[in-house]
Amino acid sequence: MKMRFSLILAAAALFVSSPQALADHQTEQLERPVTVETLAGPVQIFDVALGKVVATLPNTKEMQDQAKTWIGSITGFSPSIKAEPRDGLVIRIPLQQAEPVQSGISGDKVQELFLFASSTHPRPFQMLMFTQKGQPLFVLTEAELTPFLHKFALDPYFKNAQNQK
């Protein structure tokens, strides 16, 4: 069990720092320039079945607010130590400012989160978070994902993930 958790942490580190994953992602060309204020590293959407980042989004205040909502929807620790999704999407959001977590989960603040949006298992979703001290926290969240996917035009990625199962 310890080895599996180490594997997912290693995969998360690769996901976060892989320049190739970002290079593989093709972005749409916009007809006119758009200016967006970003607050931290980019938000990345990773398709588990494809094994690559399928979308990179600016980390805006809206994204930060969404991450805070997910953190506020935590129901407790995940009963499974297995943080190896087999399908769906992994949504990575680095936080501009470390965010406190409800008591009983951690006394330290969270600086980054990975939401595992399974295309085959309904809520609660699993979420891997890293504290300022680098401590991993594997929790469950009752986050409502559909509005987020729709708002940021990510529905097609989730539907593709569902079709690949």
- What are the boundaries of each domain within the chain? 2-163
| For range 100-106, the mean pLDDT | 86
| For range 157-163, the mean pLDDT | 65
| For range 79-104, the mean pLDDT | 86
Residue 4 structure tokens: 């599996």
Does residue 15 surpass a pLDDT of 90? no
Closest C-alpha among 68, 46, 65, 67 to residue 55: 46
Measure the CA–CA gap between 82 and 162, rounded to whole angstroms. Answer: 21
Place of tokens 């599996």: 4
| For range 114-142, the mean pLDDT | 89
| For range 47-64, the mean pLDDT | 92
pTM of the predicted structure, to 2 decimals: 0.73
- Strands 136-141 and 74-77, sheet pairing: antiparallel
State the chain's mean pLDDT as an integer.
Answer: 77
Decide which of 22 and 129 is more confident. Answer: 129
Q: How confident is the model at residue 145 (pLDDT cuts 50, 70, 90)?
A: confident
